Amino acid sequence: MMNLRRPAPPTDPRAERERIRRALMWPMLGAGILIVIHALQELIGGDWSRLGILPRDAVGVLGIITSPLIHGSWGHLLANVPTLWVLGMLTLYGFPQATRTAVPLIWLMGGLGVWLFAREGLHIGASGLTHGLMFFAVVIGIRRRDALSIALAIIILFLYGSMLWGVFPSGPKVSFEAHLFGAVVGAVCGGFLYRRDPLAPARRSSWEDDDETDPETLRKIEQGRLDEIEPPPWQGSDDHRGPDRRD
């Protein structure tokens, strides 16, 4: 059962503003770096695709680090940059600590999967990272099962749900392997890192301030474990007589 508890208002507005600022700044910085690199590529010229991943080649293994930075055209770049910025912003806001761990893992382990198992040819672009972040956000939302995480997962699926099809072969010039291995690593990171960020304090309801409710019962109600709550002593007793009871 989902624990869709509503987060309480932040107790420290300055900390919340800083969290939002970082969620906006770091993905924007990453997107800016990709744009600058491609602009230099266009200005200097040459075949920068050699910095991509060349599967099972000793030199091509260096592309695990460099391939997400290289794009074949402005159209290729602009297909990735806005998606990368939005996904980075949402995941950094919702799960900052887990995202900071997941991004390098998706980058490196996803690239390693491409190098080991992909088709021959040079694989470039940040689409493996975007697919990894999308799958990471959905899986971590399911695992955490709180209102904020589920809301972020739904928003991301609404915006980028079509990326689910990107893990299947679609054309000779599209590296579905980068999408696939990025998605696999992202999903695994979501499954294992969901506890890295503490849940936000829940908004308290009126019944939570009742002194007669013990902490264990409150915890069960908060977690949706209603079937485990013991009924009041009088409930179910044949000796109870209410004002409307008739024998």
CB 79 within 8 A of CB 98: no
Q: How many residues does the chain have?
A: 247
pTM of the model: 0.79
Mean pLDDT per segment of 10 residues, for the chain of length 247 residues?
A: 57 85 96 96 91 94 96 95 97 96 98 96 96 98 91 96 93 92 98 90 55 61 61 52 48
C-alpha to C-alpha distance for 175 and 82, rounded to whole angstroms: 19
In this prediction, residue 242 carries a pLDDT of 47
Query: Which tokens go with 50?
Result: 């050699």
In this prediction, residue 46 carries a pLDDT of 85
